[in-house]
Chains A and B, each alone.
Chain A
Amino acid sequence: MIRAALICLIMIGIAASLLVGPAPIDLSDAAAGLLGQSSEATNAIMREVRLPRSLGALIVGAGLGASGAALQGFTRNDLAAPGLLGFSACAALGAVAALYFGLGQWLMPAAIGGALIGASVIAVMARRQVGAGGLILAGIGIGALATAITGLLMNLAPNPWALSELTYWLMGSLENVDAGGLFIAVPLTAVGLLALWRSGPALRALALGEDTATSLGVSLPRVQALIVIGTALCIGAGVALAGAIGFVGLFIPHIMRRIVGPDPAALISHSALAGGVFLLATDTLARLTAGPGTPLYLGIVTSLIGVPFFLYLALRRTPS
C-alpha cells in the first residue's frame, strides 16, 4: 500500500518535473514533445533536457535513500548516512581530482572510482573490527581524509575559474544531466540497489544484534561487502551525475521508518522510492524558485532541509 503510494508520488513527481522549466511548454505540447511530435526545440527540451533531469533526480534520490537505509540498518544507528560514513566525500574527491587535473571528461569514472577506492579502504580498515562500530570509525576517518584532500586540491586550484567550477560543482545540481550520463549512471545505480536489496534479509537478522545474527547464519563480512559495494556504486554514480547532494540518505530512511516500521529490509526499498520522490520534488521546487541565470543548487536545498533534521536527531538523543 505504502509502496504503491510512493510509486504514485513518483509518477506525479516526474509529471511535475517534466512540466516545470524556464521554457513555457503546456501539457499537450509537452506530451507531444516527449513523443517527438512537437517543434524541434520542444522535442529537444522534453526528450534531451527535462526527461534526463527527471530520471536523474529519481535514480540519484533512490541511490541515496537506499544507501542510507542499508547503512542505518547495518550500523543500527539512525545517524549513519553515506555522507557521514565517507562514501560521498570519497566520490567527491575522485571527481574533484579529475577536475583539478583537467580531466573533466573522466568525471564519471573518477567519481565512481573514488567511491569504490574509498569504500574498499573503509572495508579493509573495518575488517580489524568487523561490524557496525568498525565501519563507522573507518568511514568517518576516511571521509575526513577525503574532505581534507578535496580542500587541498581546491586550495591549490590553478586559477579562479577552476576554483569556482569546483565550488559550484560541489553544491550539487541536476541541470547538466543528459542521456550520456544516465547511460552510465542508471546501470551502476541499479546494480548498487540490487546489492543493497540483497542485504535486506541479513539486516533483518542483524536487528537482533550481531551475535544473534551470526548464530542465525548471517555472514557479517558478506553483508558488509554487499552494503559497501552497493553504497559505493549508488553514491559514486550519483555524485558523478549531480555532484554532492547531502542529507537525503540521512533523513529519508528515518522518515520511512516512522511510516513503514523498523524492518530494515523493507526500509531499503521504501527509502529508495521515497528518496526518488524527495529529490524529484526538491529539484522541481529549486527550478521554480530560481531566478533567471541564478540557479538554486540542489545540494544547498537538500542541506538546508537536512541539517535541521540532523540537529533534531542529534539533540533528541542528548541525555538531559
Chain B
Amino acid sequence: MAQRPRLWASREVLAGTDMAIVTGPSALNLDRDNALALTWGEDFAAVQTNARAMSARFNLDIAPFEAELAKLSALDKPANPPRILYLSRSGGSAGPGTFVDAVIRAAGGINVNAAPGWHTPAIERVLQYEPDVIVTSFFGSDYAGISDRAVRHSALRRYLGAHPRVEIPGKLWPCAGPGLIEATQQLNRAVLAL
C-alpha cells in the first residue's frame, strides 16, 4: 500500500530538525529561534505575506513571483462573469472567505456558493446550484474513499456530466500557497474559453 503523508508531527520530531516551518489556523509557539511561522490565510494577501516571510528568512529573490501575482489583477475577464461552483471529490465546496472563492473572483467568475467558508453541502443543495462551469479538484486521485460522493453518487455524477467542468490539480490548493496563482491562471483561461 502506498505511503501517504502523516500529519501528526510531534514536538519530538520537530526537535530533531535544524529548521521548522510551521503553519496552522492558530498561533504556534515552538519555543525555538530557528522556526518560521507562515500565515494561515485564505486570500492572495496571505500568499504574498508568506512569500515575503520566506524571502526575508532565506534571502530568496521573489520578484518574479510578485510580478506574476501582480498580473492577476490585469487578467482579461469575460464580459458576462460565469457562475462557478467548486466541488471536491468528496462533495465539499467553498463559499466566501475561502481561497477558492478568491481564485474564482480573480479569474473573473462569480461563486454560486454563497454559504461562507468550507463545507460539504447536502447533495440536494448542490443539485439546486445552476453554475455555468464547475471547478473540480482531486478527481484524478487514486485514493477511493467512501465519502467520495461526487464521483460515486449517481445524481452528482450526472450533474457533473451535464455541466462544463474544469479540473484544477489539487496540488495548487495549499492554503496561502503560491499555487493559487497558477490555479487562477488556469481557471481564467477556462472561463474565457467558455
CB-nearest residue of chain A to B144: A104
Contacts of A146-164 to chain B: CB distance below 8 A:
158-162
Contact string against B for A residues 23-48, beta-carbon threshold 8 Å, 1 for contact and 0 otherwise: 10000000000000000110011001
Query: Which A residues are CB-close (under 8 A) to B32?
Result: none
CB-nearest residue of chain B to A46: B124
A165-B145, A165-B147, A168-B147 are known contacts. Are A49 and B121 too (CB-CB below 8 A)? no
Q: Are B158 and A104 in contact (CB under 8 A)?
A: no
> Is A319 part of the binding interface, using a Cβ–Cβ cutoff of 8 Å?
no
> Is A217 part of the binding interface, using a Cβ–Cβ cutoff of 8 Å?
no
Q: Are A159 and B4 in contact (CB under 8 A)?
A: yes
> Is A214 part of the binding interface, using a Cβ–Cβ cutoff of 8 Å?
no
Q: Are A102 and B3 in contact (CB under 8 A)?
A: no
CB-nearest residue of chain B to A183: B154
Query: Which A residues are CB-close (under 8 A) to B144?
Result: 102-105
Q: Are B124 and A99 in contact (CB under 8 A)?
A: no
Count the A residues whose beta carbon is within 8 Å of the partner chain — how many?
34
Contacts of A91-133 to chain B: CB distance below 8 A:
95, 99, 101-105, 107
Closest Cβ–Cβ distance, residue A291 to chain B (whole Å): 11
Q: Are A180 and B8 in contact (CB under 8 A)?
A: no
Other-chain residue from B5, B124, B149, B154 in contact with A180 (beta carbon distance below 8 A): B154
Closest Cβ–Cβ distance, residue A36 to chain B (whole Å): 13
Expressed in whole angstroms, the Cα–Cα distance for A193 and B138 within the complex equals 40
CB-nearest residue of chain A to B125: A22
Contact string against B for A residues 170-189, beta-carbon threshold 8 Å, 1 for contact and 0 otherwise: 00000110111000000000
Q: Are A169 and B146 in contact (CB under 8 A)?
A: yes
- Where chain A touches its partner, the secondary structure class is helix
Q: Are B155 and A48 in contact (CB under 8 A)?
A: yes
Query: Which A residues are CB-close (under 8 A) to B147?
Result: 165, 168-169, 176
Q: Are A45 and B6 in contact (CB under 8 A)?
A: no
Q: Are A44 and B125 in contact (CB under 8 A)?
A: no
Query: Which A residues are CB-close (under 8 A) to B165?
Result: none
> Is B127 part of the binding interface, using a Cβ–Cβ cutoff of 8 Å?
yes
Other-chain residue from B1, B6, B152, B154 in contact with A102 (beta carbon distance below 8 A): B1
Contacts of B112-145 to chain A: CB distance below 8 A:
115, 119-125, 127-128, 130, 142-145
Task: Name B residues whose Cβ lies closer than 8 Å to a Cβ of A.
Answer: 1-8, 115, 119-125, 127-128, 130, 142-149, 152-155, 158-159, 162
Contacts A158-B3, A176-B149, A176-B153 known; list 19 others, CB within 8 Å. Answer: A22-B121, A23-B127, A41-B128, A44-B127, A48-B154, A48-B155, A49-B155, A99-B145, A102-B142, A104-B144, A104-B145, A104-B152, A159-B5, A159-B7, A160-B8, A165-B147, A178-B152, A178-B153, A292-B115
